[in-house]
Structure 1
Amino acid sequence: MHILHSVLWVVVTGLTSLISPALASPGDDLMAFHDCLYQCEQISCHRNPYHIVQREFRDELTRPDSNYEWKYYNGHWHFMEMPLPWYLRALLWDCESNCDYQCQRVITAERRKRDQEILQFHGKWPFWRIGGIQEVASVIFSLGNLYVNYIGFKKVWSAMKMANSTTLKWQYANVIAMSAITVMAWTCSTIFHIRDFEITEHLDYYFAGLTVLAGFHTLGARLFNLHKPDNWHWRLFFTTLCVAAYSAHIYRLVTDWSYTYNMQANITIGVIQNCFLFGVCYNLYSKYYYEEVGPNEKTVNLSHLHYINFRRIILPSFFSRSAKLYSLYPLLLCTIVSLGMSLEIFDFPPIFFDLVDAHSLWHLVTIFPAWLGWFDWMIWDINENICTELIEEEKKKNE
């Protein structure tokens, strides 16, 4: 489910980013890596055959009174010829950044031959670049998340157009805004994994934080029934508060970027947001529970069957039994996302031709909850629960 995912996403990436600048990546400190960078940049970028000069003037350059700093040269290191291919230049690779990538791969290959530990460089694993894309698997799985959330966005949009109540449309607008923001967040994630620049990293964080706050707003409005006409002043206050909080958050990051602050802010909002979600599920479960065991001995509510896609729901034989059980479905989706987070905690070097790591598999896991009925559940909740409450309140007013 993309709401919980966005929280855990920010937490994990925040922790990673917090630790990385403090400890640096061990690969960055390797002498062989620095020698490789110097060799590649001098020969490929500056066309300076320093190794030939060193060989021809060895005696003069190594005299005790010489100030020349002797540079290591490895004839087995081979680098891409200049100019770079068009597809690399199109993705803003230059000679220096290309040398950095090539040396990561060269040093990693040598360490593998010696059965040494694979190290990270600049906070990332030395992935195999394909077509200029730095993290191919993460890009593919981010696009998968983008696709399923876009399909969900269209589904909610179609449901909103069919709603015949202004109040229902307001709640649908909340969900649509949250879904649109999530689509934008996955777009930024895709771009960031294609090419890691400061601006792509920051946009990735900005929209991840906005996704957290959008979920906080949507679930808070649902839990406290801000969709009701009588609560319009609280609705306005809550929305204004969220907009102001995010504006202050962005201002804080723009003026003084801090991984620590970003992590703390998003964790705080994320924890509260997920408490809202559990509160919504608990209230719905209680409602349907008392309907089934109440004095009127009502039949089991099966209204949710009109919204379930049996080919895209987990345990259909269980959750199709009653609306009471279906009200808990988001908690299962939360569990899936939480288990997926363990992939980030137990990080490991890339596998499958150096394309797939724990972070990319985390993105793979988060595709499924959005695909397996999260949007169907929200549409059911609005049409069958919010709508029912509004009808009942209207009847009470007319009595």
Structure 2
Amino acid sequence: MYYCSNIILIILLNLRCIYSSAGDQLEQYRSCLYYCVDQECDTDGRSYLHNYDEINIFPFMQWPCFDECRYNCMWDTVEKLESANVSIPQFHGKWPFVRVLGIQEPASTIFSFLNFLFHLKWIKIFRKRVFSGAPLYWMWHVFACVNLNAWFWSIIFHARDTQFTEFMDYCGAFSIILINCYVLVSRICWILGKLYCSLISLFFILFYTNHVLYLYSARRIDYNYNMTLNFSIAIFTVISWLIWCYWNRKSKPYVDKCAIYAVLTSAVALLEIIDRAPIFYTIDSHSIWHLSTAFLVGIFYRFAIKDCNHLKRHELKAKSLNFKKPL
């Protein structure tokens, strides 16, 4: 049994080598992990040798035995380091987080859910305040749907980190950045006509699909490439929005909301640079970033409401000027 458990453990550790950090290299952590897998886990590394409910009181989260051992040994190591007044390192690429009701990162999960609720709330407000026949009415629904899908997977990923949920979270995060760029380009080019808007939509769909297929086809996510692409598109979008807002500041005074949104979202994104242990092992800079973005959602939707109504008024005015009375 000991021999089989060690083989499984070695395989699992090799599969997770990319997430190796200072904490999981500590001898006391590794010794604890070997012992736990040997005593608690079956040879598959997932099943428990003993009563599941005695080990994990939240079986619906489907924490396999190996991950449960990693979690318990991590906190055993953290307690020993704290007692020795040694700084706490990361484990497997992440800071230690206390689970709440089986949820891996409770603060990020709650704040992701808050973003989901705010997008749902504001698209409902948008539908009440904007005529369904207004130009680009459909575009803002696409914007809302993409964000709702992305924040849904963010909730799932932060609640339970697996290879699949991580992939879906990365795809969702990229879709948020790309949909902001799509809204920008569509807003600028809408006057060119439906054909151009359709071509723009097709381009963005193909671009997103290509990126997702690339991430999926690779044996692991290419983090550097993904981060570089996300950052480049985000910077381009923010700068372009600010230029467009400055250009239209007199004819469309409400664009100040769009400019404020662009600046503030860029500012709060700097929280991602901060890499420190979470407060009370629950709240970190990443979760605070999610909290911040939730309260910025309304600013952009207010801009969307005013812009769609402005375009509708412009459309009606153009029709009235071109209207000819019958002889």
Q: Which range, TM-score by smaller chain?
A: 0.7 to 0.9
2:247 alignment partner, one of 266, 269, 283 = 283
Deviation at 1:46, TM superposition (A): 5.5
Which of 139, 144, 148 in structure 2 is aligned with 1:179? 144
Separation of aligned partners in 1, 2:316 and 2:236: 30
1:239 and 2:201 are equivalent in the alignment: yes
Deviation at 1:83, TM superposition (A): 2.3
1:223 aligns with 2:185: no
1:271 paired with 2:235, answer yes
Give the TM-score, by structure 1 length: 0.70
Partner of 1:390: 315
Distance 2:118 2:294 in 1: 7
> Among 107, 114, 127, which residue is 2:77 paired with?
107
Listed one character per residue, the Cα deviations across residues 201-223 of structure 1 (whole Å, up to 9, x for unaligned) are 00001111122222211111112
Distance 2:117 2:301 in 1: 13
How far apart, in 1, do the equivalents of 2:323 and 2:103 lie? 63
Question: Where does residue 337 of structure 1 map in the other structure?
Answer: 265
Post-superposition shift, 1:182?
A: 0.4
* Cα pair distance change 1:344/1:264, threshold 3 Å: closer
Deviations 1:81-105 (A, max 9, x none): 7423565321111222111000111
For structure 2, list consecutive stretches of 5 or more residues without a partner in the other structure.
1-15, 44-49
Counterpart position of 1:262: 226
> For 1:271-309, what per-residue CA distance to the aligned partner results, in whole angstroms no more than 9, with x for missing partners?
232233223322331325xxxxxxxxxxxxxxxxxxxxx
Residue 120 of structure 1: aligned partner: 90
Distance 1:212 1:21, change over 3 A: farther
Give unpaired runs (5+ residues) of structure 1: 1-19, 48-80, 289-323
Confirm or deny that 1:380 pairs with 2:306.
yes
Structure number with greater CO (CA < 8 Å, separation at least 6) is 1
Partner Cα distance (1:40, 1:23) in 2: 20
Percent identity at matched positions?
28
For residues 238 and 128 of structure 1, the distance between their equivalents in structure 2, rounded to whole angstroms, comes to 45
| 1:87–1:330 CA distance, 2 compared to 1 (3 A) | farther
Q: What CA deviation, in whole Å up to 9, does each residue of 1:335-390 have, x standing for no partner?
A: 333332333212211113x111111111111111114x321221011102x12332
Q: How does 1:180-199 map to 2 (within 5 A)?
A: 180-199=145-164
* Residue 53 (structure 2) aligned to one of 84, 102, 109: 84
Does structure 2 conserve the Cα–Cα contact (< 8 Å) formed by 1:138 and 1:363? yes
CA distance, structure 2, for counterparts of residue 41 and residue 177 of structure 1 = 47
Question: Quick check: 1:223–1:279 contact (8 Å CA) kept in 2?
Answer: no
2:68 equivalent to 1:98: yes
Task: Report 1:31-110 matches (<5 A).
Answer: 31-45=27-41, 82-84=51-53, 87-110=57-80
Equivalent position to 2:291, from 364, 379, 388 = 364
Map Cα deviations across residues 135-157 of structure 1 (whole Å, 9 max, x no partner). Answer: 01111111111111110122223
- Quick check: 2:23–2:29 contact (8 Å CA) kept in 1? yes
What's the TM-score, normalizing by structure 2?
Answer: 0.84
Question: What root-mean-square deviation, in Å, do the aligned CA atoms of Structure 1 and Structure 2 show?
Answer: 2.4
Give the whole-Å Cα distance in 1 for the aligned partners of 2:19 and 2:162.
20
Whether the 8 Å contact between 1:84 and 1:95 is mirrored in structure 2 is no
CA distance in 1, matches of 2:229, 2:265: 21
AA aligned opposite 1:382: C
| Alpha-carbon displacement from aligned partner over 1:147-206 (angstroms, at most 9, x marks no partner) | 11110122223345x33x3xx25x011111111110111110010000100000000011
Deviates more, 1:359-368 or 1:389-398: 389-398
Q: Which has the larger radius of gyration?
A: 1
Does structure 1 retain, via aligned residues, the 8 Å contact 2:97–2:104?
Answer: yes
- With over 3 angstroms needed to count, the CA separation of the structure-2 counterparts of 1:196 and 1:267, relative to structure 1, is same
Task: Verify the 8 A CA contact 1:178 1:214 in the aligned structure 2.
Answer: yes
Question: Which residue number corresponds to residue 47 of structure 2?
Answer: none
Q: 2: CA distance between counterparts of 1:21 and 1:370? A: 37
2-structure distance, mates of 1:34, 1:247: 40
Deviations 1:77-132 (A, max 9, x none): xxxx7423565321111222111000111101111111111111111111111211
**8 Å contact 2:108–2:286 — kept in the other structure?**
yes
- Match of 1:122, SS? coil
CA distance in 2, matches of 1:34, 1:134: 21
Q: C-alpha deviations, 1:240-281, integer Å up to 9, x for none?
A: 111111121122112124222222222232223223322332
Partner of residue 249, structure 1: 211
- 2:100 aligned partner: 130
Which stretch shows the higher mean deviation, 85-94 or 146-155? 85-94
Equivalents in 2 of 1:327, 1:21: separation in Å? 48
SS at match of 2:94: coil
1:206/1:23 Cα in 2 relative to 1: closer, same or farther (>3 Å)?
closer
Q: Distance in 2 between matches of 1:112 and 1:339?
A: 34
